[in-house]
Amino acid sequence: MQKNYRNILNELDSSADIRYSFVVSRDGLLIHPEECKELNSEAFAAMAATVLGAAEAAVDELNDGVPAMILVKSRKYNIIIIGAGPRSLLAVVTSSNDTERIYEKMEKAAREIGKLI
């Protein structure tokens, strides 16, 4: 049985210290979840796609393929963004500093998401 976005994100959230997780199209449209009470998830989705697109363009200038992950650190949270197939991305917000562990869990989820789109 093929998993759906909700199952994939629930599994990801339970396996790591993740506050929010989003599946976003490469052009910035929110795919899942559809709403989040504590932040404007549609605006967040658009910004995550913009950040990933800019990072991909910068890495392309270096002739170094595509970035493995984008990490944005703030006082309370880390935002991690990775590609999830050719048409989507996965973005999470976490308070954990164990970003490598979370990235590993995200890679697995991203592979599953890439199969859905």
Instruction: Say how many C-beta atoms besides its own lie within 10 A of residue 85's C-beta.
Output: 17
Query: Would you list the domain boundaries of the chain?
Result: 5-116
**Residue bearing the bigger pLDDT, 3 or 44:** 44
In this predicted structure, what is the pLDDT of residue 1?
42
Strands 88-94 and 20-25: antiparallel
pLDDT in tens, 6-43: 999 999 999 888 999 999 999 999 999 866 788 999 99
pLDDT in tens, 56-112: 999 999 998 889 999 999 999 999 999 999 999 999 999 999 999 999 999 999 999
* Closest of 17, 19, 24, 77 to residue 47, by C-alpha: 24
Against a cut of 0.85, is the pTM above it? Answer: yes
Q: Which fold has domain 5-116?
A: Beta-Lactamase (3.30.450)
